[in-house]
């Protein structure tokens, strides 16, 4: 749940009058609602000087908390832009507070549908309380939301805040930013993927020798696709091979060029450079290119010179020219490279089509491409001639026991717990790790990873919110 409200709206009303206030608030909530919808949320209601929104209902989203964080930061960006306009015209200070909370609610049509779709429950109230304690211009997360987005965002240190209706202070975290690396948690020892990694290492060695290859790694959520990608990158790094990665995310599947731009910016060395430096580097790399083609490439990568006019070339012709340019650069490259495309099931259509064209020449280069995706994906990146496929299977009973032993430890108190976790994880390593992490965070087990002691009842082993969202999204796809 997300609540966003303008700060001191009554003071603004006194300064500008009711009609102008209505215009300002109308523009503010319209922009905020557009941001919510862009990230897959549902605007529940308008509150006069703000909005309430829900992520993960009515359609389940496995990354609902992260999407809500992106929306919260986007709302603040829009509020700052509008505030600049309002300050210039009206001389008043417009700022917003945003609060987020995650939990189970009752959602649906209320009162025979007359009041429309909404969410109710104490978790809704907690989101509103988080908004009330957020700093002006800031975003405050409850402990439950902070736990769900751990590793995917940058948070301030925990603080205890006083909220209405609670006798004791409650923990909260201020959201600073999101990070592109959503896999910052330390990994347990890899279990049960020896054959897959040996195969990838052997194919990488062939690619280094000049026989380029494309590998698809497929499997359901949590089975270990991202872990395999990280291990492959580590193997490549150990052989002195450069690694370039692009991430396809559920909230970017409707943004044209998102995935292809990410991979090209990394591979062409312009990531993190300002426009002028990026254009200079591209001119050196593509010294013999047609100047018009270079302008098209600059535009695709988001580093176009604002003073230069981009050639007026329509879609198909533009794509063909860019394909020729990029493929020529790939064919001339002598250093081995590993390209990683993560979660291709969320790739945007334009990127999918362009990457399929770019990958057509990979077999003629000292490069390997690793593409991870779920079994339901049947797009163009699964049909590239000569590509090989590795399907990740659930861990065996023995492998699952080994993994859970690595996570829990060997104390006699957790022996019974290990069996319960194995049954509920069903060979899925992410599920097993998340159940253990959830137990540790709730205090059901105490100690450090690999040496936990049971401090609760084995019956308390439930499916944590991170997995509830994944499971719900699989049975209720967007």
pLDDT in tens, 201-234: 999 999 999 999 999 999 998 899 999 999 999 9
Residues of the chain predicted below pLDDT 70 = 59-62, 105-119, 121, 180-186, 458-478
Q: Where are the domains of the chain?
A: 2-178, 194-391, 397-475
Distance between CA 298 and CA 268 in Å, rounded?
A: 11
Predicted pLDDT at 185: 54
Predicted pLDDT at 55: 87
Quick one: 167 exposed, middle or buried, by C-beta within 10 A (0-12, 13-18, 19+)?
exposed
Predicted pLDDT at 362: 93
Predicted pLDDT at 432: 87
Residue 123: both structure tokens together: 């978790």
Q: Output the CA–CA distances (angstroms, integers) from residue 353 to 22, 350, 386, 477, in the order listed.
A: 45, 5, 17, 23
Helices (H), strands (E): how many in the chain?
Answer: 16, 17
Which position has the token pair 């989101």?
A: 127
243 membership: H or E segment, kind and range: strand 242-247
Distance between CA 190 and CA 228 in Å, rounded?
A: 9
Predicted pLDDT at 441: 74
- Scanning 388-459, the segments in alpha helix (DSSP H) are 397-408, 415-425, 429-441
Predicted pLDDT at 475: 44
Residue 178: both structure tokens together: 């999101």
Superfamily name with CATH number, domain 2-178: Nucleotide cyclase, GGDEF domain (3.30.70.1230)
Buried b (16+ CB within 10 A) or exposed e, 7-32: bebeebbeebeeebbeebbeebbebb
The yes/no answer on whether domain 194-391 falls in CATH 3.40.50.300 is yes
Predicted pLDDT at 445: 86
Predicted pLDDT at 433: 85
């Amino acid at each position: 749940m997300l609540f966003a409200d303008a700060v001191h709206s009554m003071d603004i009303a006194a300064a500008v009058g009711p009609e102008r206030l209505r215009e300002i608030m109308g523009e503010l909530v319209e922009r905020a609602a557009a941001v919510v919808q862009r990230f897959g949320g549902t605007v529940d209601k308008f509150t006069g000087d703000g909005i309430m929104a829900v992520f993960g209902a009515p359609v389940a989203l496995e990354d609902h908390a992260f999407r809500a964080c992106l929306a919260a930061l986007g709302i603040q960006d829009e509020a700052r832009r509008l505030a600049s306009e309002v300050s210039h015209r009206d001389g008043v200070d417009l700022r917003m507070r945003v609060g987020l909370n995650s939990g189970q609610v009752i959602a649906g049509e209320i009162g025979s549908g007359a009041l429309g779709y909404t969410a109710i429950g104490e978790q809704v109230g907690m989101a509103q309380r988080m908004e009330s304690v957020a700093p002006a211009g800031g975003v405050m997360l409850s402990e439950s939301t902070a736990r769900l987005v751990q590793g995917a965002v940058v948070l301030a240190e925990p603080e205890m805040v006083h909220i209405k209706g609670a006798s004791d202070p409650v923990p909260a975290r201020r959201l600073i930013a999101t990070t592109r690396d959503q896999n910052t948690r330390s990994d347990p020892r890899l279990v049960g993927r020896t054959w897959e990694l040996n195969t990838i290492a052997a194919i990488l060695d062939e690619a280094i020798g000049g026989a380029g290859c494309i590998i698809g790694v497929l499997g359901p959520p949590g089975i270990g696709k991202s872990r395999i990608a990280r291990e492959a990158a580590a193997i490549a790094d150990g052989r002195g091979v450069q690694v370039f990665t692009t991430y396809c995310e559920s909230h970017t599947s409707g943004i044209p060029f998102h995935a292809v731009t990410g991979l090209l910016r990394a591979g062409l060395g312009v990531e993190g450079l300002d426009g002028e430096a990026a254009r200079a580097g591209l001119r050196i790399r593509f010294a013999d290119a047609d100047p018009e083609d270079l302008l098209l490439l600059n535009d695709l990568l988001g580093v176009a010179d604002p003073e230069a006019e981009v050639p007026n070339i329509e879609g198909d012709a533009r794509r063909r020219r860019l394909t020729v340019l990029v493929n020529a650069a790939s064919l001339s490259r002598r250093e081995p490279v590993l390209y990683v495309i993560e979660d291709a099931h969320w790739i945007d259509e334009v990127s999918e089509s362009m990457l399929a064209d770019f990958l057509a020449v990979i077999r003629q280069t000292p490069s390997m491409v690793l593409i991870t995706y779920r079994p339901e994906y049947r797009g163009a990146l699964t049909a590239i001639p000569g590509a090989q496929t590795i399907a990740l299977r659930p861990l065996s009973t023995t492998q699952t026991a080994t993994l859970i032993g690595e996570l829990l430890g060997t104390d006699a108190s957790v022996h019974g717990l290990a069996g319960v976790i194995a049954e509920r994880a069903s060979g899925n390593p992410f599920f097993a790790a998340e159940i253990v992490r959830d137990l540790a965070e709730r205090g059901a087990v105490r100690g450090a990873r690999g040496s936990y002691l049971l401090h609760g009842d084995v019956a308390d082993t439930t499916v944590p919110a991170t997995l509830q969202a994944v499971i719900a999204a699989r049975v209720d796809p967007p």
